[in-house]
Amino acid sequence: MFREIHTIQYKMRVGFEWPSKSKFTKIHVSKTLYSKSCFSSMDSYAIIDESNFPIIRIRFTGNKSTDQNFQTYLDQTKACYRLEKRLAIIFDASDAAIPSLSHQKMQANWLKENEQLMKEFCAGTAYIIPNAAIRAILKMIFSFQKQPVPYKIFESEPEANTWVNGLDMDRNSTT
């Protein structure tokens, strides 16, 4: 069994249903169905889509956070900066599970450790959070560690897309 997460994303018409004993877990996203393979040794906490770079979408799957899947999410998020080019991130927490307090602190520490990287390359982050409890969790994370780049919280994807598309992606640095 693979120790690393291997994600296979399929874009299919909404309405397609996997058989109940399938090797795939479905995640509905707008009008696209993303599926992740169970070839990995854990359930993903988030799926990162870089196909529309410089806009990156991170969709939380609804799976419970574990030390392993949460660290993988943080590592994959940091990997988005590997090109050292300006980017913007949309975090879609529409289906998010509430992370444990220890994972909230891990997220805050990640923000602190990667503050300069984010300031240099991230034009801004949009959060899609229709759930009030998840919004409160985000505020708690930001109380541990301030968000180092412009951000805004939205209840729907179209609002987040509009805001992100208005960000200055051409600027070399925010510092």
Looking at the structure of the chain, the number of domains it has is: 1
Q: Where are the beta strands (DSSP E) in 102-169?
A: 122-128, 151-154
Assigned token pair, 18? 């996997």
Residue 139, H or E segment: helix 132-144
Q: Is there a domain that residue 3 lies in?
A: no
- What is d(CA 156, CA 143) in angstroms, rounded to the nearest whole number? 24
Strand partners, 29: 32
| CA 169 from centre of chain | 19
CATH number of the domain encompassing residue 157? 3.30.750.24
Task: Give me the domain span that covers residue 95.
Answer: 41-165
Q: Does any domain span residue 15?
A: no
Residues 86-104, mean pLDDT to the nearest whole number: 93
Report whether pLDDT(133) > 80.
yes
73 in any annotated domain = yes
Confidence at residue 141, expressed as pLDDT on a 0 to 100 scale: 81
| pLDDT confidence tier of residue 15, bands split at 50, 70 and 90 | very low
State both tokens at 6.
């291997």
Residue 4 pLDDT grade (very low, low, confident, very high; cuts 50, 70, 90): very low
